[in-house]
Amino acid sequence: MKSFGYAAQSKTSPLAPFHFDRREPNPDDVVIAIDYCGICHSDIHQARAEWGRGLFPMVPGHEIIGHVTAVGSAVTRFKVGDPAAVGVIVESCMHCDNCKAGLEVYCSDGGAVDTYNAILRDGERTYGGYSNNIVTPEHFVHTLSPKLDPAGAAPLLCAGITTYSPLRHWGVGPGKKVGIIGLGGLGHMALKFAHSFGAHVVQFTTSESKVEDAKKLGADEVVISKDATAMAKHAGSFDFILDCVSAPHDMNAYLNLIRLDGTLCLVGLPDQPLSVAPFSLLANRRSLAGSAIGGMKETQEMLDYCAEKGIVSDIELVSVDKVNEAFERVLKADVKYRFVLDMKTLQA
């Protein structure tokens, strides 16, 4: 199938129009015409090969919303015209214990394959959602309620599930004091979910300009993380803190805020190792954890929860030719709070 989109030709080149081929659909494939694609900070890390592997030309994008244009003969959950959504992974082994438990992202037999910048088990390269279409096995495609605004729903496919999953796993809810670090794409979804689950939520930010927004998004308290006195007031008091920061930062300052048996969970993926002072962990028997997106079952559960509660991302919708400007603004933490590409503006 002829496809086109925006690609980085190397780790130093800006994104530019790019024509490429996708496979003809297999019996279990869904073909989706892409309407919207969110810009995740991971797209920037990967397009600049900050995590190591960069397969170029690279078409980023893993927050994909569109509508079905064709289905393979074995597809049962979708028909032509249905809304459909694809997130961060498009393949896993489907038979290991983790896959069988609906935790495909933790596939232990060959691993999950990313929506872009990756190679499928049969050797085919994956290309992401900054493009006109995508071909994906039905198992990795989600249904979308008509109650959800499709542009605002796009970031749910990564920023949404990546924050929903750990907040659920660590039992965030009424009676729990929860911190969210960084008010960006992931952070603002984490804030909405933690508030919606009934926790007492404290937003940490380096940006004074975001304080009022944080309160509107559901924060009970907002702390400017550079203010040591304000930080000290929360020492040893949090049940759970979710770290959504994309750049190197001092984790110990946050570990010290965790109460007995509490957890600091990383979802942010800076390209440099973060250092941990052992005493920050020993005190209060603290745990340091990590979490990767979420499984297919939980992603569908999250989408359905959002439809029921009226939760979408706060977005700036931009035309595809503005993608390089959007990258620069994300790097300056200057986005409220997720860019979404309007793929209808893509010119062949």
Residue ranges in contact with ligand NAP by CB under 6 A: 40-42, 45, 158-159, 162, 182-187, 205-207, 210, 244-247, 249, 267-269, 291-293, 330, 333
CB 30 within 8 A of CB 78: yes
The residue nearest ligand NAP at its CB is: 184
CB of 283 to ligand NAP, least distance (A): 23
* Calpha distance 174→265 (Å, rounded): 19
CB of 204 to ligand NAP, least distance (A): 7
Which residue's CB is nearer to Zn ion, number 42 or number 284? 42
292 binds, among Zn ion, ligand NAP, none (CB under 5 to 8 A by kind): ligand NAP
135 binds, among ligand NAP, Zn ion, none (CB under 5 to 8 A by kind): none
CB 36 within 8 A of CB 341: yes
CB 177 within 8 A of CB 238: yes
CB of 63 to Zn ion, least distance (A): 6
Which residue's CB is nearer to ligand NAP, number 179 or number 185? 185
Which residue's CB is nearer to ligand NAP, number 31 or number 89? 89
Helices (H), the chain: 41-47, 97-100, 150-153, 159-169, 185-196, 211-217, 228-232, 252-255, 278-282, 296-309, 323-331
152 binds, among ligand NAP, Zn ion, none (CB under 5 to 8 A by kind): none
Which residue's CB is nearer to Zn ion, number 116 or number 238? 116
Which residue's CB is nearer to ligand NAP, number 137 or number 185? 185
CB of 9 to ligand NAP, least distance (A): 21
Q: Which residues bind Zn ion (CB under 5 A)?
A: 40, 42, 158
293 binds, among ligand NAP, Zn ion, none (CB under 5 to 8 A by kind): ligand NAP
163 binds, among Zn ion, ligand NAP, none (CB under 5 to 8 A by kind): none
Closest alpha carbon to 181 in 222, 215, 122: 222
CB of 145 to ligand NAP, least distance (A): 23
Which residue's CB is nearer to ligand NAP, number 29 or number 63? 63
185 binds, among ligand NAP, Zn ion, none (CB under 5 to 8 A by kind): ligand NAP
The residue nearest Zn ion at its CB is: 40
The residues, ordered by sequence, that sit 6+ positions from 308 with a Cβ below 8 Å of its Cβ are none
CB of 199 to ligand NAP, least distance (A): 19
CB of 193 to ligand NAP, least distance (A): 13
CB 320 within 8 A of CB 33: no
Which residue's CB is nearer to ligand NAP, number 288 or number 292? 292
Provide the 10 A C-beta neighbour count for residue 91. 24
47 binds, among Zn ion, ligand NAP, none (CB under 5 to 8 A by kind): none
CB 169 within 8 A of CB 291: yes
Both structure tokens of 286: 């603290």
Which residue's CB is nearer to Zn ion, number 179 or number 294? 294
The residues, ordered by sequence, that sit 6+ positions from 18 with a Cβ below 8 Å of its Cβ are 4, 5, 6, 7, 9, 57, 59
CB of 112 to ligand NAP, least distance (A): 11
CB 124 within 8 A of CB 136: no
DSSP 63-114: -EEEEEEEE-TT--S--TT-EEEE-SEEE--S-SHHHHTT-GGG-SSS--EE
